[in-house]
C-alpha cells in the first residue's frame, strides 16, 4: 500500500486543528493510502528585537487610551491567575493528546526547521500539506518545510491549506513564490488564498472545502463522545477564539434569555469545568446545542453538519478581521445571513434553513475527491 505523509500544524489545544487533521487522514485513507501525520515544529519568527519593539509601539499608538488601560488590567489579572491558567491548559493538552493517540497516526520522528532529514523520499510516495493555516506567515514564518521541501517536487501536494491572511508580507513574498511554484498540485480552502497564489506565481489553485466537511454524520458520530458536563436542559454554546468584549457578552446573555438557555462556554477560563473537553466532546456539544455562537471556522462547519442554528460574530482582539476562509465557507453554502447584525430580532437567530445544504455539500465533496484522485493518480 502506498504511503502519504500528511503535514499540518500540530496543536494540542485547538479543536479545529485536531479535527481537520483526523478528517484529512480519513479522506486520504478512503482513497486507498496508508496515512501518517508528520510531527513538526514551526519556524522561529524572523524579526529583530528592535523591530519587535517598534511594532509594539506602533500597535499601541493605534489604540485608544481606554483600550490600552483595559489591556493593562487584563495583563495584571492574568498574572495573578497564572497558575490556574497553566493548570487548565495542561489538562486540556492532555485530553487533546489522548484524542490524537486514539484517532491519528503520527510519525515516530519530528521535523524541525534547520535540520536535515534523510530517507523521507523513500518513506513516502506522496506528501500532502494541509489543511490548517499551514501557510500563515504570522504563525509559520515562511518555513520551506510547510511547502514540503523535504521530498522531491513531484511528491508535493496541497490539500485545502489556508494562508489565514489577506496579504503575504513583503519579506516572505519571494520565497513563497518559489515554494508555491515547486508544488506538484495546488488547492486552498479560501478564495483569497487562490488569489494570493495567482499573484505570487501565476498558478491556478482549486478552492476546496475543509476535510471536516468530507466526512458524513456517521463518521463523526464514531468520534463524538458524550460530553461529561453537557447540561440536562437546553443550552446555548459559545466558542470564541478572539476576545469577548462586555458588549458581546451582553449580546450572548440576551440571546440565551430568549429561550431561557444555559450558556456553555468552550475554551473559556470563565467556564473551567469544560475547559479540558476533548475534540470528541466538542463535536457532541455542538450537535446538541440549541444555538451555536462563535467566531470560529470549524464551529460553523460542525454546526452545519449537525443541522444546528449558528451565529457568526466578527472576531475581536488580536485577530480582528473576518478571515477569507470563513467568508468563503458562508458564501459557498448560502449562509452569509448567519453573520450577526443588530438589525435582526434575537429570536430570529434560532431559525435556520438547511434545505439546500446537502445538495451543495455533495457537489463540493465530489470536486474535492476529483482533485485528490487526480493529484494522487488514483484510478477509479
CATH number at residue 249: 3.40.50
Asked if the structure places residue 285 within a domain, the reply is: yes
Average pLDDT over residues 331-346: 96
Crossing angle for the helix pair 297-306 and 279-287, to the nearest 10 degrees:
50
Residue 121 and residue 39 share a domain: yes
Q: How many domains does the chain have?
A: 3
DSSP state of 340: -
Decide which of 64, 80, 96 is a domain's last residue. Answer: 80
Q: Which residue has 486520504 as its cell numbers? A: 28
235 three-class SS: strand
Asked if the structure places residue 112 within a domain, the reply is: yes
Residue 147 and residue 40 share a domain: yes
Q: Cα dist. 84→113, 238, 243 in Å?
A: 33, 21, 19
Residue 340 has pLDDT above 70, yes or no: yes
C-alpha cell at 8: 499540518
> Quick check: 8 and 131 in contact, CB under 8 A?
yes
Asked if the structure places residue 204 within a domain, the reply is: yes
pLDDT at 318: 59
Lowest mean per-residue pLDDT among 192-201, 220-229, 320-329, 337-346? 320-329
Residue 268 and residue 256 share a domain: yes
C-alpha cell at 231: 447540561
Asked if the structure places residue 192 within a domain, the reply is: yes
Asked if the structure places residue 380 within a domain, the reply is: no
Q: Which domain holds residue 63?
A: 49-80
Mean residue pLDDT of the chain comes to: 92
Q: Which of 119, 118, 191, 130 is nearest to 156 (CA)?
A: 130
pLDDT at 326: 92
Asked if the structure places residue 22 within a domain, the reply is: yes
Residue 206 and residue 94 share a domain: yes
> Quick check: 282 and 15 in contact, CB under 8 A?
yes
- Tens of pLDDT, residue by residue over 285-300, are 999 999 999 999 999 9
Average pLDDT over residues 142-159: 97
13 three-class SS: coil
The residue ranges of DSSP E strands in the chain, in sequence order, are 3-7, 34-40, 106-111, 126-129, 156-158, 187-188, 206-207, 235-239, 262-266, 291-294, 310-312
Residue 115 and residue 206 share a domain: yes
> Quick check: 269 and 256 in contact, CB under 8 A?
no
Average pLDDT over residues 213-232: 94
Instruction: Give the neighbor-by-neighbor strand order of the sheet with 291-294.
Output: 262-266, 235-239, 291-294, 310-312
Angle at 212 between CA 339 and CA 97, to 5 degrees: 110
Q: Which run of H or of E encompasses 198? A: helix 191-201
Residue 136 and residue 64 share a domain: no
Asked if the structure places residue 233 within a domain, the reply is: yes
Residue 158 and residue 9 share a domain: yes
Residue 229 and residue 204 share a domain: no
Q: Cα dist. 16→19, 89, 257, 378 in Å?
A: 5, 16, 28, 28
Residue 167 and residue 186 share a domain: yes
Q: What span, in angstroms and rounded, lies between the C-alpha atoms of 37 and 212?
A: 16
Q: What span, in angstroms and rounded, lies between the C-alpha atoms of 138 and 219?
A: 33
Q: Which residue has 434575537 as its cell numbers? A: 346
Confidence grade of residue 261 (pLDDT, cut at 50, 70, 90): very high
Residue 154 and residue 21 share a domain: yes
Residue 116 has pLDDT above 90, yes or no: no
Asked if the structure places residue 219 within a domain, the reply is: no
Residue 155 and residue 36 share a domain: yes
Residue 76 and residue 56 share a domain: yes
Q: Report yes or no on whether pTM surpasses 0.75.
A: yes
Amino acid at each position: 500500500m502506498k504511503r502519504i505523509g500528511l503535514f499540518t500544524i500540530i496543536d494540542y489545544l485547538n479543536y479545529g486543528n485536531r479535527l481537520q487533521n483526523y478528517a484529512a487522514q480519513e479522506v486520504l485513507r478512503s482513497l486507498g493510502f496508508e496515512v501518517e501525520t508528520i510531527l513538526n515544529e514551526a519556524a522561529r519568527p524572523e524579526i529583530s528585537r528592535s523591530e519587535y519593539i517598534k511594532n509594539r509601539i506602533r500597535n499601541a499608538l493605534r489604540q485608544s487610551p481606554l483600550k490600552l488601560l483595559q489591556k493593562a488590567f487584563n495583563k495584571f489579572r492574568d498574572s495573578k491567575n497564572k497558575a490556574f491558567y497553566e493548570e487548565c491548559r495542561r489538562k486540556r493538552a492532555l485530553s487533546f493528546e489522548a484524542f490524537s493517540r486514539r484517532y491519528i497516526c503520527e510519525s515516530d520522528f519530528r521535523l524541525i526547521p534547520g535540520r536535515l532529514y534523510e530517507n523521507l523520499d523513500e518513506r513516502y510516495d506522496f506528501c500532502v500539506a494541509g489543511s490548517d493555516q499551514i501557510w500563515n506567515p504570522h504563525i509559520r514564518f515562511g518555513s520551506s518545510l510547510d511547502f514540503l521541501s523535504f521530498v522531491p517536487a513531484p511528491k508535493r501536494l496541497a490539500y485545502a491549506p489556508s494562508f489565514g491572511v489577506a496579504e503575504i508580507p513583503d519579506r516572505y513574498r519571494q520565497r513563497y513564490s518559489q515554494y508555491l511554484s515547486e508544488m506538484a498540485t495546488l488547492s486552498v480552502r479560501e478564495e483569497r488564498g487562490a488569489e494570493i497564489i495567482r499573484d505570487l506565481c501565476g498558478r491556478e489553485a482549486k478552492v476546496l472545502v475543509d476535510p471536516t466537511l468530507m466526512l458524513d454524520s456517521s463518521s463523526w458520530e464514531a468520534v463524538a463522545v458524550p460530553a461529561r458536563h453537557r447540561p440536562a436542559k437546553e443550552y446555548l454554546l459559545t466558542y470564541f477564539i478572539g476576545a469577548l468584549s462586555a458588549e458581546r457578552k451582553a449580546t450572548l446573555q440576551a440571546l440565551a434569555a430568549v429561550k431561557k438557555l444555559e450558556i456553555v462556554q468552550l475554551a473559556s477560563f470563565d467556564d473551567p469545568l469544560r475547559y479540558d473537553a476533548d475534540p470528541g466532546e466538542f463535536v457532541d456539544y455542538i450537535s446538541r446545542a440549541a444555538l451555536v455562537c462563535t467566531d470560529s471556522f470549524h464551529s460553523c462547519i460542525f454546526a452545519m453538519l449537525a443541522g444546528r442554528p449558528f451565529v457568526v460574530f466578527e472576531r475581536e482582539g488580536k485577530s480582528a478581521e473576518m478571515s477569507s476562509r470563513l467568508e468563503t465557507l458562508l458564501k459557498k453554502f448560502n449562509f452569509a445571513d448567519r453573520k450577526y447584525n443588530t438589525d435582526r430580532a434575537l429570536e430570529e437567530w434560532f431559525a435556520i434553513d438547511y434545505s439546500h445544504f446537502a445538495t451543495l455539500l455533495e457537489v463540493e465533496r465530489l470536486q474535492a475527491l476529483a482533485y485528490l484522485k487526480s493529484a494522487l493518480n488514483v484510478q477509479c
